[in-house]
Amino acid sequence: MTVLLAWSSMLLSACGSDEGGPDASPATTALGQEFVLGFDETIHVGRLSLEFATLAEDSRCPTSANCVWQGNASILVTATCGRVLSVLQLNTNPQFPVRAEFEGYSIELRSVDPYPMTTALPNVQDYEATLFVDVAAP
């Protein structure tokens, strides 16, 4: 039990280390604010670093179509805090995880744009994810 507590403490304190300095990522935002993250972009939220790494799925019903279900956009976000790294899968459909906890933070996917249309498929580079990050509930 003591080893587990010590390990947990080490992981949380690793998040507090200052790796990479100010040039590690050009964009920063504050906790408790919604922000837009473009495909393949990285942002810092406190000591947390998030990268929109992959569009895993976009099966959302196109705007001009009639579908039997609403579909889902799923993205992979690489989260880094100090030396701890994790890949989080977040979804737009609430039947799947829209939120993940990582190193004391709660990361929530609010939306993915552009919304699919029947006339044209967007390029993956055109995608943006609206995210919200806050301190995870105890």
Q: Provide the residue ranges of all domains of the chain, joining segments of one domain with +.
A: 2-135
Q: Which amino acid is at 104?
A: G
Q: Apex CA 41: angle with CA 37 and CA 47, to 5°?
A: 80
pTM of the model: 0.79
CA distance 99 to 42: 18
Q: What is the DSSP string of 67-115?
A: -SS---EEEEEEEEETTEEEEEEEESSTTS--EEEETTEEEEEEEEESP
Domain at 2-135: CATH architecture: Sandwich (2.60)
Residues with Cβ within 8 Å of residue 102, at least 6 apart in sequence: 48, 79, 81, 86, 88
Cβ(122)–Cβ(116) below 8 Å: yes
Please give the DSSP secondary-structure letter assigned to residue 119. S
pLDDT tens for the chain, residues 1 to 138 = 333 333 333 434 446 544 444 444 358 999 999 999 999 999 999 999 999 999 999 999 888 788 888 899 999 999 999 999 999 999 999 999 999 999 999 999 999 999 888 777 788 899 999 999 999 988
